[in-house]
Structure 1
Amino acid sequence: MKAKWIIAGAGVLVVAGAMPWVVGYVTEQQWQQVNQELNQAQPFLQMQTEDYRRGFLSSNLNGAITVLNPETGETRRIDYRADVTHGITGSFMDFEPVDGWAPEGADWFQERPRLTLETRLWGVAILELEAPAIAINNPDSGESFRTSGGVARIEINDTGSQAEALIVWPQLSLSGPEMSVRVNGFRVEQSMAHLEGDVWTGSMEASIDSVALTSPEMSPLTIEGVFAHSSTEAKRDGQRLDSKMTIEAEKVLFEDEVYGPHKLAFALDNLDVASWNILTSSMTDLQSLTLAPTSSGPEMFEKQMAAMGQVTTAMRDLAAAGFSVGFSELTMDTPEGEITGHAVIRHPELTADEKAGMLLVMQQLAGEMSLSVPSVLVDDYPAVRLQLAPLVKQGLLVPDGDRLVLAAKLNDMMVDVNGQKIPLPPLF
């Protein structure tokens, strides 16, 4: 019996001793797969692993990240290296830019930032950034950026189908000659689950203790108790999606007065998941073609027209499936009174015959909008008057006691604003 236990123990030791090699091999395969899937999913951030040197207990790799600016088409390359440590159940990767975390000669960080990735054989990965206090000065512009230490962490489970994210930054500030902004107590928590394509469900909560703005040209302004919450839920066996988001501010302090609370609520109901996936992928393809180095010529023009056709078809399918979207609530407390409003646009779900006879997406769009503003805002504040005066002149904002109001309805490609009917052009 004793001999059997000795043999079993020796077998366990052999397996345990071989596990770092197995873990190292699996880690390399997983890393290459992550690179490939990320590059295929979008064109804006591309990862290349140029040299992966795998050892028994550790590995080293060199690679590069290329970031594309979608507005200009310009790219920026960041070379990096990583040290990989292999354990029995997973690996630990420590990343660092080849050129360092700051430009040569700059003293941005009190300590070295740390970007790590911890992986497990069963598909769990934890990416974490630990940042020390940061101080960046621009003597040419007179601007400066300061932050306390902070942490950003994302835990990925079930081989990428679920994720938990956390960002905590106690303090950050941006100062310049014209404006200074100071943020205290920034925190974000998010839980996500992959549904289909680019669609994720889950919830997010974000909060800021206070935001303070100071400027030589205005009195100090402080916003306290900023809170945002969003949730996205699937229904009809994952075929439809409901999404809601609210942004609230407990109070605003300005010129020794306190105003609040303030609230903005957004809602998206009954979105068709399949049509939305096709629409987003088609728009990504169209943008990629537009930014391509050879974005001219007959062949490229045909590809762009085909992508535009896919976008149009996806929009028609999305509308025909029915949806509702808009700002369900707007409430702002100002020194002169409360601003309220809402705006919602919807499209009915069509039968197959109705969809076949559908000429325009706009044809059956319906909705309503309301806005109520204290008249004194227009009378006493030139900046507000500059924005709202054209609406008043056109009769889109009409007096109602001591307020200016807008009441609009959309139906049959016609907008009725305070009794004025305005036809809509057939844009799509």
Structure 2
Amino acid sequence: MLERNRQAGWKHQPGDPSLSEVYRSVAVGGRSAFRRAAAFMGPGYMVAVGYMDPGNWATSLAGGSKFGYALLTIALLSNIMAIILQSLCARLAIGAGRDLAQACRDAYPKPVSIVLWFLAEIAIIATDIAEVIGTAIGLNLIFGIPLEIGVLITAFDVFLILYLQRLGFRWIEALIIALLGVIAICFAVQIVLADPNWGEVIKGFAPTTEIVTNPDMLYLALGILGATVMPHNLYLHSGIVQTRAYGETLAEKREALTFATIDSTIALTFALVINSSILILAASAFHATGRTEVAELGEAHSLLSPLLGAAIAPVLFGIALLCCGINSTVTATLAGQIVMEGFLRIRLKPWMRRLMTRAIAIVPAAGVTIWYGDGGTSALLILTQVVLSLQLSFAVFPLVMFTADRAKMGEMVAPRWLVAIAYLVAVTIAVLNVKLLFDFVS
């Protein structure tokens, strides 16, 4: 009866799962709750990658260099929003047995579903462009490889992803977590070298009215908020949670939701630490020395060594950026596969899907790099964040509406207090992104 009621809210029955090659491939058995919880660790960290991509670096660098530690409170607010939305993704996947793309296909008329698919594909292409640029800049900063060649080299990461998929999904998660660890170490060393004012850092997490009254600060705050929550992450999380072989009873699903939410919450808290570290580094290295207009990744890299007095600082910055770019390309690939399979039920071979997405991203990135150089790539990076901001609400509102619908979710429906907070988050994001777009155009 529960299953019949749960399916009654959908126009169509669920088809084959997305990422079928890894669907329910990770065992979650074990007598102890700790072992079962450990089996769910991984998807949250893959999602966390999207909250620290190269586009976020640019906004955090600009915010820290211009206003010091004041915008740390915005990074915290963005992270709280992200935790709420990602918990809903896990709820949708476990409660309805669908990822967000499948849910849109099964809930809406075909014309609406096609439009949402098209918008999701644009968002993934924009994400991939940002990752291509970030990886190319990382290669340039560490090895001196020209940006034009670095952009082309990023096409070959498809082979790494395919190899790891053959070994098993846990290997992909292991790569992501390992690279995140490298990023954390790089920033930890840089923060020690920068020696920030920790009293000011703590004060930076407290809200201040100046963020609203100062137009320049408000603009950067909106940029941090608008660029933090990525639409492809919502599709990604609702898909990869289903790689876990949890049971079908209500008790087993509730336990799976608990463990999946714990995983994503811890991982996103880690993302907050990284994003805050970027802002703290910019505030202590640039703002404190009077350099308040640093916003480009290459410029930040070149200034770190003379300001911090250590040659290793810019090297660590470049390594962290390269790891971040590689991580983001892996997760964008999987999100693209989930979107195509979920919306259209088209199942391309992973290598074909990957090459298609990467080719579409490389063409504009390579063209802008060749014709306009570093300045052009920085402008393109900002443009991708605006594009992502425009697409976000088309993923957030369906997610909130689905998880609030008892006919679709059955006993796994989100509680009313969570629905109220989620709608507040969705409306806030929509308003802020409209404001960000208006400012960008004007």
- Give TM class, smaller chain: under 0.3
Whose helix fraction is larger, Structure 1's or Structure 2's?
2
Whose strand fraction is larger, Structure 1's or Structure 2's?
1
Give TM-score, length-normalised by structure 2.
0.22
Give TM-score, length-normalised by structure 1.
0.22
